[in-house]
Amino acid sequence: MKTAGQNRLRALQEYGQSVWLDYIRRDLITNGELARLIDEDGLRGMTSNPAIFEKAIVGSQDYQDILLAPEARQLDAKALYEKLAIRDIQDAADHLRQVYEQTACGDGYVSLEVSPLLAHDTEATLAEARRLWAAVARPNLMIKVPATAEGIPAIRQLVGEGLNINVTLLFAQSAYEQVAAAYIAGLEQAAQRGIDLRRLASVASFFVSRIDTAMDVELTARIDASPNAARQAELRNLLGKTAIANAKITYQKYLGLFRGPRWQALADKGAHTQRVLWASTSTKNPTYRDVVYVEELIGRDTVNTIPPSTLDAFRDHGGVRASLTEDVDGAAATLQRIAEAGISLDRVTDGLLVDGVRLFAEPFTKLLDTVGKTPAPKARITAPRWEPTTPGSPRRASPTRTSRMATSSAHSATPTRSSGQGRHRS
């Protein structure tokens, strides 16, 4: 447990968990805030996605120097977007380089996603990933590739070529197993090519809160339809329980997959396990604890990429304990009761993957449309900036720095798939 005066975010490292920030914006880098997060909170990485960049670029004047430059008129919309994004990714990676070196390539990564419009095209994903890897030219870059049927062979190939890969949009345990297998096969290819496995890394980004949002709708429909009070109570007791149970069982699969002779042969060459990264860890349902998807998923060799408002909340009042391996049998029983209620978790997670691709493609298309037009210098101040709370700073009742961030965070821009409970984050 956290001791008095200890930074709660830093305390997570004692349990083997790395904190990454699910956010990027130009002023975060230029105003010294990223450096503070690294030094004071022990931040160990960053993730981005098209929705984050859409909000950052469209909602600020931070990018006017590039957007208004004469040479911008010579670039198409995608090339202009990449010029903006790559600068941020490079600068963030440079700030995190010290973490990368200090952890022997274990942490210090910044993620840049391939176009979500390519999610169902293996060859195009391969080509774009290679191009972005070369353009950013930082060893602590991770290229994000979605865990679609077409993305998984690309993951295997890219790892085999020595690229660091963040596998995104994982919801199902079966998909996670395929991704882990692709990573291990890719490492074997890399070893055959003579690539130093000590400098090769990957994370499997397993999305959490979106699952509860979708499953709670399914459960609520059955509660409303049941005439039996006892049955209603049983179903009501399952609300908000699916995502954490699913994550706990997935972590058990991780522990089983990265052991045995095949894995040991790679580990002997310096290979890192493909850590599970908990994504979509903001709380969508306001009746749930605001840090529940951090508090209940703390475990060794994991990452939690946390959006700004949740980061501030956890620093303020998060509880730290080795929660991920608690009551695994209870987690399995929860999933069994979900199945007995007639709800197919596979069906729900399949739908979430489809929606996840769409909900990244839509802001990406919007972003390309926006940067492809001649920008108006006065027209882009639409989203407030994040002014993070700091340890010991007073918390205010009227809109706090954190709550203002909730309006500008890219993850709160898109409605959830199944209900109006909250806003879609990562």
Q: Which 3 state secondary structure label does DSSP give 156? A: helix
Nearest to 176 by CA among 205, 142, 151: 205
* 31 φ/ψ angles, rounded to the nearest 5 degrees: -95, 5
Residue carrying structure tokens 């990454």: 20
Residue carrying structure tokens 């709660």: 8
Could you tell me whether strands 109-113 and 45-47 are parallel, antiparallel, or unpaired per DSSP bridges?
parallel
| Token pair recorded at residue 273 | 């396990």
417 close to 214: Cβ distance less than 8 angstroms: yes
Q: Is 144 designated active site?
A: yes
CB proximity list for 376: less than 8 A, separation 6 or greater: none
- d(C-alpha 159, C-alpha 162), whole Å: 5
CB proximity list for 172: less than 8 A, separation 6 or greater: 345, 346, 349, 350, 353
Catalytic: which of 144, 241, 248, 284? 144
Nearest to 307 by CA among 324, 290, 323, 319: 290
- d(C-alpha 396, C-alpha 119), whole Å: 42
Residue positions annotated with a catalytic role: 144
